[in-house]
């Protein structure tokens, strides 16, 4: 059994994440018990496809990712309202969520000796720090989850400000 746990963003203005891996199933929670989302994902036996849902049946997002050695690419949400995710790397994981204009960059580092994934999503001034502890948990899948958490955080922050 594996686990990814930690925080995306600071103590204030961020989300916690806790996800457990049991075989090919990933389940957990991002955010709190009241205003958070469930994580229910599955990885294919070959390890080349990650899919499932973040959130509930009605209010949630589908995640559909292709996985290759050192590369993850796919989509969060539907065809019309959704975001592309493209990440690359093993120890240094970089990439983009969303398009070239509306989206954010991913710049994370997996420190194997410490079992830690850390870095930044977004830019230097507008973005969020990532600090996750990983135990028998694929770093690239943890990076995808970090991006999903940050995307949901951004959407909720915009909605709370009246959609600005």
Summarised one tens digit per residue, pLDDT across range 98-151 is: 987 888 999 999 999 999 999 999 977 788 999 999 999 999 999 999 999 889
75: which residues sit within 8 A by CB, 6+ positions away?
62, 63, 64, 65, 82, 83, 84, 85
Q: Is pLDDT of 164 > 60?
A: no
Residue 153 C-alpha from the chain's centroid: 11
Contact 134, 142 (CB under 8 A): yes
CA distance 32 to 75: 24
Mean pLDDT (the chain) is: 90
Please give the pLDDT value at position 160: 60
Query: Does 156 or 117 have the greater pLDDT score?
Result: 117
> Given pLDDT bands bounded at 50, 70 and 90, which one contains residue 36?
confident
């Amino acid at each position: 059994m594996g686990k990814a746990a930690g925080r995306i963003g600071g103590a204030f203005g961020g989300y916690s994440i806790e996800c457990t891996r049991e075989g090919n199933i990933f389940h957990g929670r991002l955010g709190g018990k009241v205003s958070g989302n469930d994580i229910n994902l599955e990885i294919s036996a070959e390890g080349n496809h990650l899919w499932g849902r973040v959130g509930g049946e009605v209010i949630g997002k589908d995640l559909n990712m292709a996985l290759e050695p050192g590369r993850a690419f796919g989509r969060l949400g539907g065809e019309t309202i959704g975001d592309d995710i493209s990440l690359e790397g093993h120890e240094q994981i970089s990439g983009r969520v969303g398009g070239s204009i509306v989206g954010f960059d991913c710049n994370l580092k997996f420190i194997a000796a410490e079992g830690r994934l850390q870095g930044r999503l977004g830019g230097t001034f507008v973005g969020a720090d990532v600090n996750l502890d990983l135990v028998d948990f694929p770093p690239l899948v943890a990076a995808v989850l970090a991006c999903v958490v940050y995307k949901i955080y951004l959407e909720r922050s915009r909605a709370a400000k009246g959609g600005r």
